Structure 1
C-alpha cells in the first residue's frame, strides 16, 4: 500500500509505519529540516534511543544502513536510502525557549518542533514525559 502526504512547512505529521513498509521523506522545496521520532506502535514505552543508536552505529551521524535502535536496544527502523548523507541524533528539537535564545524574544510565539511532537504524540496517548532525543 502506498500513501502520499504533503506536509506544510512547520506542520506536524505522524503515521503508523508497519513492519515491511517504507517511509520516504522528501524535501520538496529545499532547505527544510525534519525532526523525527520513532515509537513502537504496539508498546510506546519502547521508543527511539539516541544513546543506543550512537553506540550501535559507532558515531553520531546517521545515513544509509543506520539502524534506529530502541531504549531496549532492539531495532525500530533502518535507513535504506539517504540522499543527504548525514543526519545527527544529538542536536535535539527546537523549542520556543531555545528559539528565543537563538533568535530573540520576539520569536517566542513562533513555531517550535517540540510543540509538533506534543500535538502529534497526544493522538497516541503520549505527553511531554514521553519525548526523547530526536533525529534531525
Structure 2
C-alpha cells in the first residue's frame, strides 16, 4: 500500500456545498476553520492552480517557502500542512487518492506561454489572467497574487535544478481532502492550458465539495 494515499469515509451526499468549475474558469471559495474541502479531478490529469488567503487579513496568504521548509518536501501530499507567509497553518491534507501535488511550477501566464510555446500563444487563456479577474470581484488586484499550488500536477526537480512536468499522475475521480486550519479564501483557476500534454490537450472540470467539521 502506498503510504502517501488515503481514502476518506466522507460521503458527497452529506456535503454542505458542491460546485463544479469548468476549465478556464476561476472560483473563490470561502472556507471556515474546521471545514473540509475535497477537490476532485473529474476526468483526470487536470491541473487546478490555487492561491490561498486569510479571510480576515488578505495580506496573510499561502507561502511556498514556509510550506516546503517545514516539511522538507517540495510536494503537497498526505499530512502536509499548507503554511502562510507568517508561517501559520492554513490547511492540512487529511486524505488523498492522487499522491503528489506541485508547489514549484508557477501558474501559466501570457508571458510564460510565449517563452514555452512561441509568441502565437500570447493571447490564449492563462491562470494568471483568471486569478486577476477573480480577485477583482473580491476587491483585490493583480498585486495580491501570491505563490500558487498546482493540484493534480507534479513538477520534478532534478539534481541540476531543472524543472519538468510529469505526465499522467492523476486520473478520473482522484481527489484530495484538506481541513481548513483558519478561515480562508481558496482561489481556484481550473487551468485551460492547451499547449501542455499533461492533460492530453483537453482541459476538463474540477469539482469542489465542502463538509462542516
Aligned residue runs from structure 1 range 5-84, under 5 A: 5-84=19-98
**How far did 1:99 drift?**
1.0
> Secondary structure of the equivalent of 2:28?
coil
Greater fraction strand: 2
Q: 1:77: Cα distance to partner?
A: 0.7
Instruction: Tell me what 1:124 maps to.
Output: 138
Q: Where do 5+ consecutive residues of structure 1 fail to align?
A: none
Q: Secondary structure at the match of 1:6?
A: strand
| 1:11 CA drift (Å) | 1.0
| Structure ID, larger Rg | 2
* 1:53-80 Cα deviation digits (max 9, x unpaired): 0111111111011011011110011111
Gaps of 5+ in 2: 1-14, 151-213
Deviation, structure 1 residue 125: 2.0
Q: Deviations over 1:31-65 (max 9, x none)?
A: 21000111000110110010110111111111011
CA distance in 1, matches of 2:137, 2:32: 17
The alpha-carbon deviation at position 126 of structure 1 amounts to 1.8
Answer with 39-48 or 105-114: which moved more: 105-114
* Matched position secondary structure for 1:76: strand
Q: CA deviation at 1:6?
A: 0.8
Q: Which has the higher contact order (CA 8 A, sep 6+)?
A: 2
Structure with greater helix share of residues: 1
- Structure-2-length-normalised TM-score: 0.61
CA distance in 1: counterparts of 2:72 and 2:45, whole angstroms: 28
Distance 1:90 1:133 in 2: 9
Mapped partners of 2:114, 2:38: distance in 1: 32
